[in-house]
Amino acid sequence: MVDSPERKRSAAVRDLKDFLRMVFGVDIPVALDRPDRRQGASVERGEGDIISLALNPEALGQASEEGYRLTVSPGGEGPHVEARLVAASPAGLLYGVQELKMRSRFENGVLEVPVLDISSSPAMAVRGIKGLRWNPSDYLSIIDFLPACRFNFLMMCYGMVPEHCREWRMPYSDEHLQAISEIVQRCNERYIRVCVAVNPSLRSEPPICYSSEQDLALLVAKFRASYDLGVRTFALALDDINFEMTHPEDRRAYAGLGHAHVDLVRRLDDALRSLDSENKLIFCPTTYFTRYALERKDYTEALVHGLPEDVDVFWTGPEWNSTIVTGEDARFFSSLVGRKPFLWLNYPVNDYLAPYPWRLLLEPVRLSCTELPRWIEGLVSNPMRQVEASKIPLWTIGKYCWDPASYRPEAALQEAVAVVAGAEAREPLKLLVEAYTRYYDALRDTRDYACDVAANPSSQRASEDLLMAAGIIRTLIPVVKRLLQNERLASELEEGFNRFLAFCEAYNAWRYGRCGCGLRPSEAATQGYDTSDARALDAMKRFLRTADLAWCDWDDSTLSDAAWYLQEIEAMVRQTESSVNLRQVPGDGG
């Protein structure tokens, strides 16, 4: 699907109009100039205020085609301004509008824009996200937010619809074809490349037969269906599968799994290229992180010698769940697979945080290496299950991808909250997120907190931090919920923070013997609180059994995941009962 230049250029104008309507409450004309005049657009507000947009491919020299220059200067007498945005491409215009919006402040009926002169272009060519078991409506709901992060890549992952994974041999339903078509159309209007990912081995019964021409034809047909809707980038995911080949004919045909995967990739790439030379294939290998690639050298060697040069390779970093990755990490992995990897950043994904999954991850991304963009083809973030809450950390990822040298995590987090919350809820949500991220490490396994108590019963720090965060959050949740206009975000935050409060109560019951009393042991005893083992264990079991398993209900295939979490919980409780004395912890006199 290819849009006309006029339609594409209008995306920036449309976004600017929406912003001005939100600010002033009325429509302000913003129109593209006629072809016989300069290639731009302008908007006037009152006397003397002018915002102009212009396309000029030569204006930015050697900068990226997505770059822009934004100049704001006094516009004559009085408090008027003239803002001029020049970009080499329509995408640059849209990203420049995002800069203008971020720099603007609306107070007392006046839109204030500081005097500035900024030239900016991205450090990474490909920047984007995938979904975490998101359904089509989840993808559609986040598309408008992606330009704000200056993302240009969206991968519809294999958890989006059954036809991308366990039912990959089946044709798309009409409903899912319509959804993909709408996603592609809306992304095209915002200069976002869409990628369709299929995993034909995970949960598929039977998994793909790598040597089968029939299965290859079905896989090509699946990608052809999305190609017909405008998709030009495709991902073959063979991650999280068993190293043993299922089919006897595959075991006869290939020396090992690596050779089987290389053969499938080559044949698939040939088919896609014959369909359209512009088609792009990305491969997620079974050894998608460095440690695994080193452990399975036979598989890695097969990739080096067999993958087509034009095929990109997904990589999650040194580990499968790395949240900090450096240029040196990427350079080393590239030496293993013979090409720059495409970084699949597993943050802020939250499905693996057992035995307490789906907790909110709101910390800014902690990437800091300025050399990383040199050694990767691009970056795709794996978000949380909570679509709206994911926007907070995703904004910080977008800031890093665009300009790692100027990235400051805490400042980016403050910006993210302001963008996501809106004017009325901005300040209370900032306080809420600050308390949550300062006093609680959401990436830390809940069992680690238990180990702290077992190893050092006299330490008060972990409990005091949790109590501090819980007190602030409990106070602010109703305030934020009342002020947020985004109802889904309010619901996700309320549910996530209430789950966190339940954990705090269970943890302190474990430590002090009463759920949420917030007292030191000596105080709890003198005030008559029950400090029995049974009460504390009951609180922990109640939390672990109910707080998060409800989030494992998105489809039948996750019932086994829920059962696994339950086994983890049982093991944790048994370990606690046998190794930790949960009676009143000796205090220091209060």
**pLDDT 10s digits, 446-473:** 656 655 654 555 556 777 788 888 899 9
Are 114 and 169 part of one and the same domain?
A: no
Q: Which domain holds residue 19?
A: 5-120
> Averaged over 308-321, what is the pLDDT?
97
Q: What is the pLDDT of residue 33?
A: 39
Q: What is the pLDDT of residue 540?
A: 54
Count of domains for the chain = 3
Q: What is the pLDDT of residue 227?
A: 98
Give the domain-ending residue among 367, 392, 421. Answer: 421
Q: CA 129 to CA 53: how far, in whole Å? A: 28
Say how many C-beta atoms besides its own lie within 10 A of residue 403's C-beta. 16
Are 189 and 116 part of one and the same domain?
A: no
CA distances from 106 to 22, 72, 103, 471 (A): 10, 16, 10, 32
Q: CA 224 to CA 82: how far, in whole Å? A: 48
**526, part of any domain:** yes
Through-space distance between the first and last CA atoms of the chain, rounded to whole angstroms: 69
Give the domain-ending residue among 98, 120, 142. Answer: 120
Contact 508, 489 (CB under 8 A): no
Q: What is the pLDDT of residue 579?
A: 43
CA distances from 241 to 235, 290, 441 (A): 16, 17, 30
| 204, pLDDT greater than 50 | yes
Are 282 and 413 part of one and the same domain?
A: yes
Q: How confident is the model at residue 79 (pLDDT cuts 50, 70, 90)?
A: low
Are 254 and 365 part of one and the same domain?
A: yes
Q: What is the pLDDT of residue 362?
A: 97
> Averaged over 270-280, what is the pLDDT?
97
Q: What is the pLDDT of residue 528?
A: 52
**44, part of any domain:** yes
Average pLDDT score over the chain: 82
> Averaged over 33-54, what is the pLDDT?
50
Q: What is the DSSP letter of 586?
A: P
398 — alpha (psi -120 to 50), left (phi > 0) or beta?
Answer: alpha
What are the helix (H) ranges across 422-460? 426-439, 446-455
Are 114 and 168 part of one and the same domain?
A: no
**520, part of any domain:** yes
Give the domain-ending residue among 101, 120, 139. Answer: 120
Q: What is the pLDDT of residue 70?
A: 92
pLDDT, tens digit, 9 for 90 and up, residues 408-445:
999 999 999 999 998 889 999 999 999 999 988 888 76
Q: CA 272 to CA 24: how far, in whole Å? A: 49
Contact 515, 409 (CB under 8 A): no
Are 455 and 361 part of one and the same domain?
A: no
* The residue to which tokens 């973030």 are assigned: 381
Contact 289, 318 (CB under 8 A): yes
Q: What is the pLDDT of residue 43?
A: 46
Are 78 and 215 part of one and the same domain?
A: no
**557, part of any domain:** yes
| 352, pLDDT greater than 50 | yes
What are the helix (H) ranges across 278-345? 290-295, 297-306, 327-337
Which residues are bridge partners to 112 per DSSP?
A: 105
Are 450 and 572 part of one and the same domain?
A: yes
pLDDT, tens digit, 9 for 90 and up, residues 226-253:
999 999 999 999 999 989 999 999 999 9
Are 498 and 402 part of one and the same domain?
A: no
CA 411, chain centre distance (Å): 19
What are the residues whose beta carbons fall under 8 Å from the beta carbon of 314, sequence distance 6 or more? 235, 237, 239, 282, 283, 284, 285, 288, 341, 342, 343, 344, 380
The residue among 118 and 502 whose pLDDT is bigger is: 118
Q: What is the pLDDT of residue 38?
A: 39
> Averaged over 124-135, what is the pLDDT?
94
Least confident of 29-43, 64-78, 181-195: 29-43
Are 408 and 499 part of one and the same domain?
A: no
> Averaged over 508-531, what is the pLDDT?
50
The residue among 268 and 566 whose pLDDT is bigger is: 268
Q: CA 545 to CA 538: how far, in whole Å? A: 10
Q: What is the pLDDT of residue 5?
A: 45
Are 394 and 535 part of one and the same domain?
A: no
| 354, pLDDT greater than 90 | no
What are the helix (H) ranges across 228-324? 248-253, 257-275, 290-295, 297-306
Contact 572, 450 (CB under 8 A): yes
Are 397 and 441 part of one and the same domain?
A: no
CA nearest to 384, candidates 314, 319, 444, 443: 443
Q: What is the CATH number of the domain that holds 238?
A: 3.20.20.80
547 — alpha (psi -120 to 50), left (phi > 0) or beta?
Answer: alpha
Q: Environment class of residue 50 by beta-carbon count within 10 Å: exposed (0-12), middle (13-18) or buried (19+)?
A: middle
Contact 118, 402 (CB under 8 A): no
Contact 157, 578 (CB under 8 A): no
Q: CA 312 to CA 333: how far, in whole Å? A: 13
